[in-house]
A and B are shown apart, each in its own frame.
Chain A
Amino acid sequence: MKRLLSRRNVLRGAAGFALGLPFLPSLQPKSARAGDPPFAKNPRFVALATHHGGIWGANMFPGDGAGDSMSYVGRTIRRRDLELSLAGGKASVCPVISGSADKLTAALVKKLNVIRGLDHPFYIGHHTGGHLGNLARNDANGSDGAYMQAFPTPTIDQVMAWSGSFYPDLSGVLKRSMIIEHGHNHISWNWSSPDSKTGTIEEVGGIDSSLALFNEIFVPEEDPQEKRPPIVDRVLEDYKRLRNGDRRLSGADKQRLDDHLERLDELERRLKVSVSCGDVQVPTQDSAQELGSSSYGIDPAAQRRFWQLMNDVIVAAFTCGTSRIATLNCGDIFDTFDGDWHQGIAHQCHRPDGAAQVTMSAAHQMFFEEVFLDLASKLDAIEEADGVTLLDNTLVHWTQESGAYTHDSISQPVITAGSAAGVLRTGSYLDYRNLQKVVNGGGYEGAEEITHAGLPYSQWLGNVLTAMGVPASEWANPETGGYGPHYIGEGMGQHYEDATFSKMGEMLPWLEV
């Protein structure tokens, strides 16, 4: 499909490439549903996952204030508008959600949501699978986590990537999902045969080079006369000869061949995609170059450059339509601490002297400003229809590995930007905790942070899928309505009423427009 775009705006990325952006005239009023004008038919999704966490509530969430409250599944929950305070050129919603006032504007804050009180109701310890729904991908730091390793599940980004509802038309899509990470960190998972949803649950590999990613989502225009037909159809045929031949194979052999055939199908599909996004110039910088420095791990500026180069490519891909999903797994510390970050900072964050907490919060603030806010701002700078930006047509989703305590999954913070093409109400601080149910009362080594039982995180994951247009029939746990396996850890039942899990198939309160 040849998609020629007229110019309305130009994104000039940090990588130095320029992209002609579309003019999509629409003067119709806003609507509450994705796909209704002026919103785009097809929303985009970005998941940003960061390691550790352990941020105290006072640093991670807005303070107390007047707002709404309501009774929900046996508890009282709260909502209020996000408020921005300004001081010395810095804008703040709370210590972590803060940044330069010219970036964190009042208008942008109205497009954020800050959600508190979403729990994995068991002890998960270290994990990367908990962000997007594969609870089996944890380090088995405790018996609960070890137990959950028996229940691998696709992550929601891959549910979207292989849903005909999310991608009704793949003719311009070069990558169903862009998985971005450095090192093997296991953020995204799917079936080995993703189209047929069969086989085993396997990691979906990531990429650490923004230039390589750019080259995957932008195929230079070729003269059709000079373009040699690909041979992938013959490769497919070769595998089919083996798969369907009369020579001896086990059933498991054939499953492996089926898995491979699906990947060849995907390759063949992509090789047929032809897109043009205007005057796209190849980036002059590559994120992978940053990784080559031995000091990268303790160089926040290099880390900022790495992720901002990736942000540029994401925005370009979304604008061009060659991909609509990006999953970023960030293990960088955004600090110059040269010791053992895990032991020296993360595992000291609970201490009441607050020294490690200050370091950890500052690192997360830097991630918010330099990565999350950078991406949201770039998306918001692109107008796709009158009054509707690319950010409005996107859901940017930042989650941390742990709640207020390292290793703990109570109140795992969720920060979002964008309305998923008009589906989600934004500008809210949503607090779903049951303040009558203390899970951790503090005390260990003087820790003072108190945590309360929230609502199931798997309900939120289902809400995300719904917002992105993937019907529950494609993913819902039939026994709970939420996403993925449901497990209440040893001793955790006392913190949750049965009612807590009674509406997992519904949108969380105050989320819908």
Chain B
Amino acid sequence: MTHGVTRVDLTGWARLSVLCSTAAIAACVGRIGDGSGDTGGSSGPGGDPPGTTTSAFTCDGSLTPDALPLRRLSKLQYENTLRDLLVHTVGDEADAVFSSLAGPLGKMPDDEREGPAGELGGFTRLDQTVHQDHVDAMYEVAAAFGAALTDGARLSAVAGDCAADADGGNDQACLESFVRDFGRRVLRGPVSDEDVAFYAEVAGAPPLEPADWADVIALLLNAPRVLYFVEHGATEVTGHAGLFALDPFEMAARLSYHFWQTTPDDELLAAAESGELATEDGYQAQVDRLFADPRTRQAVEGFFAEWLQRKDIDELDSRLGTPVYDAFVDGYLPGPDLREHMYAELGAMAGYYVFDEPAAFDALYESDRSFATTADLAELYGVEPWDGAGEPPQFPDAERVGLLTRAAMLATGSANTRPIMKGVFIRKALLCDHIPPPPNNAAASPPALSGTYTTREVVEQLTENEGTACAACHPTFINPLGFATESFDALGRWRATQRLLDPETGELLDERPVDTTSVPRIVPEDDRPSTGAADVSRFMLESEKPQACFARHWFRFTFGRAEDGKKDGCLLGDLHAQALEGKPLAEVLRAVAVSPAFRERNFEEVQP
């Protein structure tokens, strides 16, 4: 029980009646402990004023990185594992058998996006909760899996003719051989004699029925080594008490689940078994092989799509039929999948610059190409759909350059843009800056669509009154980043003017030029004025913060946990430096797997 008896009685509690009160906050600072999960000090954003997030990581080789305890497979990884085991055992029937598991698999809880800033830049891999439903569903899945593999003729295909023949005298040997072979795939490593005896015992005494075999398979599928990365380490790293190099099978699992989101294949297991994976050359060769596989592209695109996905975009067709939204879309008909197509473009863009036309990190902020593969999104951009293979079409609008001008960064699902939310996303997810929570009740009245003022003017009136609590952060660190893309509307279409619609009837009342100028203060001391998205993108890259933020996110995706700016400084610094040096993204992404951190594990608090 956390009692947490703390009584705070300060002045300045903002009531509805004093929204953005004049109880001025002197500076835009946070509370120690908020932020990215860094343990504080000068190396991380926790508690730092916005804009001052450290991006120059320091490598202190004497520190030992933390480890995620008994990391759980993501739901995607678990499902992929089952599918690959089916391919291994029943070949062509794999898809059909996998489909038959849909019922129990559906009971497995979905992972949620988590991270230091919650869903902003969060990843499902960081969801490490284990509900009762996980355990229940896994038990049911395993039972169904066992039953399916021992059904009819499949048993002999799975375990050999000895399992299905009439001779009960060979059953025990047949079973033990099966446990050793199938167990190696299921458990992702060697199966000891003790393991063989343990898993075989559940079948009972021969002669064995199919149901006995099913129990053995189900027991194997329930093993802790299936749901979790069970790591024991091999040899202790000199000078680091509690830090151990992983054994080759543990490394194989990390590599495979990181790049392919699934269990190691035969070649990787063989490399672990032969000891090749324990050599530098052998390890590098496997990293190269895995990275070249199409499954890695899926994982990498998934990483970018998840990192860059804003969750505050409503369905883009949900307001069709209302006067204001109908007037806003002005003849364009957003479909039910448009939002997903916008998200998909982000992954496709990253995939292109990682694998097709290898480029450095900066390309994400400088690209003037459309990666919209569907007609609905391409129409918004004014280009033809990209076929996914050739050269992507160039945007017709000169102002549309880089990540910040992609539709997924701009759309809202309403007729109004959201400069505040755009600014918050850039600050938190792209710059990894900490922003303190808004004053109490500040969100009680969000910016509304006005028939008189532009969205920018409404936001300025609401949040930038001098001397108010809101004005401590909004005019300096949040709004300017959002204002920079006000030349794009709430569907991501370019515009020179904002059409001012009657909030009730949708009638066009006025048309006013949009203003994208601002002082974005990527870092507090940078007071250069910007004319729009291109300038902001450039200032961001020059600040070196997006590259550092990318390093943080790739670290989180890789290790399934938030980074510690100090203890993980060596790897973060290396990834950051490579991004700054302009190394191809593919190289930077691959670099994480050859780092010591990827191949070692901290066993602090080791108990006998």
Q: Mark A residues whose CB is within 8 Å of B.
A: 123, 125, 140-147, 150-153, 184, 192, 197, 202-205, 212, 228, 231-232, 234-235, 237-239, 241-242, 246-257, 259-260, 263-264, 266-267, 294, 338-340, 343, 347, 350, 405-408, 440-445, 447, 475, 477-480, 484-494
Contacts and interface: CB of A to CB of B under 8 A. Distances in A.
Nearest to B143: A231
A248 B445 CA distance: 55
A340 B314 contact: yes
Given A238-B224, A248-B233, A493-B9, A447 B16 contact: yes
Interface stretch (B300-308, B424-432, B600-608): B600-608
Interface in B47-86: 67, 69-70
Contacts of B202: 231, 234
Nearest to B336: A294
In terms of DSSP, what is the predominant structure of the interface of chain B?
loop
A245 to B, nearest CB: 9
Contacts of B215: 228, 231
B222 interface: yes
Interface centre among B7, B228, B436 (most CB of A within 10 A): B7
Contacts of B602: 250
Interface string B246-280: 00000000000000000000000000000000000
Contact of B5 (A141, A445, A485): A485
A457 to B, nearest CB: 15
Given A350-B16, A441-B17, 7 more contacts: A140-B437, A238-B222, A248-B606, A253-B69, A254-B607, A267-B132, A490-B11
Contact of A492 (B13, B18, B139): B13
Nearest to B218: A231
Interface stretch (B107-115, B540-548, B589-597): B107-115
Contacts of A237: 198
Nearest to B68: A252
A254 B608 CA distance: 11
Contacts of A144: 440
B9 A492 contact: yes
Contacts of A152: 2
A189 to B, nearest CB: 11
A202 B211 CA distance: 36
Contact of B321 (A231, A254, A338, A343): A338
A487 B6 contact: yes
Contacts of B603: 248-250, 253
Contacts of A141: 437-438, 440-443
B69 A490 contact: no
A490 B9 contact: yes
Nearest to A177: B132
Interface in B338-379: none
B4 A487 contact: yes
18 contacts: A123-B13, A141-B441, A150-B4, A192-B130, A249-B603, A250-B67, A250-B602, A252-B69, A256-B130, A263-B132, A266-B135, A407-B444, A477-B3, A486-B7, A487-B4, A489-B13, A491-B12, A492-B9
Given A266-B132, A444-B16, A250 B110 contact: no
Interface centre among B139, B322, B604, B607 (most CB of A within 10 A): B139
B135 A263 contact: yes
A246 B606 CA distance: 11
A257 B224 contact: yes
B219 A405 contact: no
A24 B107 CA distance: 36
B5 A479 contact: yes
A491 B318 contact: no
Determine the interface band of chain B, counting residues with CB < 8 A from chain A. Answer: 35 or more
Interface in B461-496: none
Nearest to A186: B112
Contacts of B6: 485-487
Given A239-B224, A489-B13, A123 B139 contact: no
Contacts of B8: 147, 487-490
Contacts of B440: 123, 125, 141-144, 489-490
Nearest 3 pairs of A and B residues by beta carbon: A491-B13, A493-B9, A485-B4
Contacts of B33: 150
Interface string B26-62: 0000010110000000000000000000000000000
Nearest to A492: B13
B17 A252 contact: no
A203 B112 CA distance: 11
Contact of A250 (B1, B441, B605): B605
B10 to A, nearest CB: 4
Interface of B: 1-19, 31, 33-34, 67, 69-70, 107, 109-110, 112, 129-136, 139, 198, 201-202, 211, 215, 218-219, 222-224, 228, 230, 232-233, 244, 314, 318-319, 321-322, 336, 414, 436-446, 448, 602-608
A222 B226 CA distance: 31
A486 B4 contact: yes
Given A441-B17, A442-B17, A491-B12, A235 B198 contact: no
Contacts of A231: 202, 215, 218-219, 222
Nearest to B8: A490
A388 to B, nearest CB: 33
Contacts of A241: 198
A487 B7 contact: yes
Given A256-B70, A259-B130, A490 B135 contact: no
A345 B94 CA distance: 50
B130 A263 contact: yes
Given A123-B13, A231-B202, A492-B9, A347 B3 contact: no
Contacts of B211: 228
A445 B15 CA distance: 12
Contacts of B201: 234
A490 B606 contact: no
A488 B5 CA distance: 9
Contacts of B445: 347, 444-445
Contacts of B9: 488, 490-494
B330 to A, nearest CB: 18
A253 B5 CA distance: 31
A242 B321 contact: no
A408 B441 CA distance: 8
A475 B33 CA distance: 28
A235 B132 contact: no
A259 B72 CA distance: 13
A350 B6 CA distance: 31
B38 to A, nearest CB: 16
A238 B198 contact: yes
B10 A491 contact: yes
A247 B446 contact: no
A167 B133 CA distance: 21
A249 to B, nearest CB: 7
Contacts of B107: 212
A406 B112 CA distance: 26
A224 to B, nearest CB: 16
A480 B131 CA distance: 31
Contacts of B70: 252-253, 256-257
Nearest to A488: B7
Contacts of B436: 143, 146
Given A248-B233, A250-B604, A490-B10, A202 B129 contact: yes
Nearest to B220: A238
A338 B441 contact: no
A450 to B, nearest CB: 11
A142 B130 contact: no
A489 B34 CA distance: 18
B126 to A, nearest CB: 14
B208 to A, nearest CB: 14
Contact of A204 (B12, B132, B218): B132
B131 A205 contact: yes
Nearest to A209: B106
A281 to B, nearest CB: 20
A485 B69 CA distance: 28
Given A150-B33, A256-B69, A267 B7 contact: no
